[in-house]
Structure 1
Amino acid sequence: MSSSETTTAAARTTAGQGGAVRIEDVVHRYGRGRETVTAVGPVDLTVPAGEFVVLVGASGCGKSTLLRLIAGFEQPTHGSVRVSGAAPHPGSSAGVVFQTPRLFPWRTVRGNIDLALRYAGVDRVRWPEHRERLLARVGLEGTEKRRTWEISGGQQQRVAIARALAAERPLLLLDEPFAALDALTRERLQEDVRLVAAQTGRTTVFVTHSAEEAVFLGSRIVVLTKGPGTVALDLPIDLPRGDVDAEELRTSREFAELRARVAHAVKSAAAD
């Protein structure tokens, strides 16, 4: 077995030991008294370890709120959220990628990755090895010495993904990470994330409002109703995963049928 195959196998083993998400009777509200707004719930949802779940719905349906609850950034008003059997803890339960990269502009690409490795507790002598592997995984070989403002928006988001993968948490959360990118860059990064998830076996929860993005990425799609968000559709996606021809997949009849079904469900859920 090659070194890359060994790394992939080890990552899969690590991911398989945790990352499962259990959401039980969760309701989340903002404000107090007459100003209270229910953003989510009630929601019951189980994400088994290794699954790629996409939360999709119209703006304001609570999908980003649900992701923040899974990350541990917020606590539910009612019910419980568990990651690998325990309450989520920000920074340690999951790697998180936001809509904007949130990189440190005064640091190089290498500096941003190294900072993530330091917070992940990786031994300093192993940083070069880990950094090289992470940058190769997101297609950024040779960019180590460049400042973040010297690279494109798509490359910055790749750095953000590499940084989220640095800690090797079994759970990866992504909140509309490609929304601000052009169509071509978005498609390329979709392919990267899909491949990374297949190679590492990490449990992944991805937020989007796009039916096409949801079908391309997910092994399962959860459509949320308009706020307060509840589950309107929970749909397994039976499409090939791993190293597949992305263009062939996107133009297949099965893909088109699933995209139409999800788009109809999102539209119906937003109208109810």
Structure 2
Amino acid sequence: MSSINALAEGIAAPGRPTGKGSIRIRQVAHRYGRGEDALTAVGPIDLDVPPGEFLVLVGASGCGKSTLLRLIAGFETATQGSIEVSGTAPAPGRTAGMVFQQPRLFPWKTVGGNVDLALKYAGVRRDQRAVRRGELLHRVGLGETAHRRIWEISGGQQQRVAIARALAAEHSLLLLDEPFAALDALTRERLQDDLRRVGTESGRTAVFVTHSADEAVFLGSRIVVLTKRPGRIALDLPVDLPRSGVDADELRAAPEFAALRREVGLAVKAAAT
């Protein structure tokens, strides 16, 4: 057993690509425009994601990562092929909770008010929202900030609110499109720690888009590297690192972590040429 795996009793076992939170992608490609001006952004791609997996999509700018995420969310319909989430076609707002690069919060509402609105749209009864709001804010480390205005909290805290809002609905799938890209390095690392913990605790399937090999290895239980446009799968790599029971700094310092980071980094560079 490797030194880092010895720090935890178990590794998340791969699940079957069926059931609640599963994603099934078959021969999916997506084009923008028509005729001679048509641009194929991604595909064709075949991919199965089992329930509970934390999948990270990584690649150079313009390789189709965000396009694929929007297709999974149901914000766009694939030009070719099919996508199923939990056995059905994706539908905007119903398939998954979504976290964007910018928090997209309502500045005239408090932190708690933003979460309450998400709970309202999720169908949570008014008399149950305060308890649920408290649980969500505590989960993302903002238990004492419900009364504060959005402009009174930092950018990192705002992104935590966005994550809490995405978790408000009982979706089995969480989609995150470079949510930490605009943050400073220290805040980004802290939120990576938090998201890794939240993902493990919630048990939800997650798909996370990033440019960073380091972020991909730290967060993912599986990493898919996409080629340059049109994005296709260049590498599909399981991450054999413990998901719990190990200190984050210790994990980042482990030789197994460094080896995976190097492998992903080299794959991204090769796929971009």
TM-score range for the pair, normalised by the shorter chain length: over 0.9
Higher fraction of helix: 1
Q: Which runs of 4+ in 1 moved over 3 A?
A: none
Question: Is residue 59 of structure 1 aligned with residue 61 of structure 2?
Answer: yes
Question: Is residue 245 of structure 1 aligned with residue 244 of structure 2?
Answer: no
CA contact (8 A) 2:65 2:226 kept: yes
CA contact (8 A) 1:71 1:94 kept: yes
User: Structure 2: how far apart are the matches of 1:206 and 1:133?
Assistant: 23
What is the TM-score when the length of structure 1 is the normalising length? 0.93
User: Structure 1: how far apart are the matches of 2:245 and 2:198?
Assistant: 10
Equivalenced residue count is: 256
Question: Is residue 169 of structure 1 aligned with residue 171 of structure 2?
Answer: yes
Per-residue deviation, residues 9-49 of structure 1 (Å, max 9, x unmatched): xxxxxxx9511001100010001111100000000001000
Write out aligned runs for 1:151-162 (5 A).
151-162=153-164
Fraction of identical pairs, as percent: 71
Write out aligned runs for 1:174-185 (5 A).
174-185=176-187
Q: Which residue of 2 aligns with 1:133?
A: 135
Partner SS, residue 263 of structure 1: helix
Partner SS, residue 182 of structure 2: coil
Q: Which residue of 1 aligns with 2:268?
A: 266
Residue 195 of structure 2 is aligned with which of 193, 196, 207? Answer: 193
User: Structure 2: how far apart are the matches of 1:79 and 1:182?
Assistant: 39
Question: Is residue 117 of structure 1 aligned with residue 119 of structure 2?
Answer: yes
CA contact (8 A) 2:30 2:80 kept: yes
Match of 1:91, as an amino acid? G
Match of 1:189, as an amino acid? L
CA contact (8 A) 1:199 1:242 kept: no
CA contact (8 A) 2:19 2:87 kept: no
How many Å apart are 1:137 and its aligned residue?
Answer: 0.1
CA contact (8 A) 1:61 1:228 kept: yes
User: Structure 1: how far apart are the matches of 2:164 and 2:245?
Assistant: 19
Question: Is residue 41 of structure 1 aligned with residue 31 of structure 2?
Answer: no
Partner SS, residue 73 of structure 1: coil
Question: Is residue 218 of structure 1 aligned with residue 182 of structure 2?
Answer: no
CA contact (8 A) 2:83 2:90 kept: yes
Q: Which residue of 2 aligns with 1:230?
A: 232
Match of 2:258, as an amino acid? A
What is the TM-score when the length of structure 2 is the normalising length? 0.93
Match of 1:86, as an amino acid? T
User: Structure 1: how far apart are the matches of 2:245 and 2:173?
Assistant: 21
Q: Which residue of 1 aligns with 2:12?
A: none
How many Å apart are 1:244 and its aligned residue?
Answer: 2.3
CA contact (8 A) 1:195 1:243 kept: no
How many Å apart are 1:142 and its aligned residue?
Answer: 1.0
Partner SS, residue 63 of structure 2: coil
Residue 108 of structure 2 is aligned with which of 106, 109, 121? Answer: 106
CA contact (8 A) 2:22 2:205 kept: yes
User: Structure 1: how far apart are the matches of 2:260 and 2:45?
Assistant: 24
Match of 2:176, as an amino acid? L
Match of 2:196, as an amino acid? R
User: Structure 1: how far apart are the matches of 2:20 and 2:166?
Assistant: 16
Match of 1:45, as an amino acid? L
User: Structure 2: how far apart are the matches of 1:161 and 1:28?
Assistant: 28
Which range is displaced more, 158-167 or 193-202? 193-202
How many Å apart are 1:70 and its aligned residue?
Answer: 0.2
Q: Which residue of 2 aligns with 1:4?
A: none
Q: Which residue of 1 aligns with 2:152?
A: 150
Q: Which residue of 1 aligns with 2:7?
A: none
How many Å apart are 1:243 and its aligned residue?
Answer: 4.3
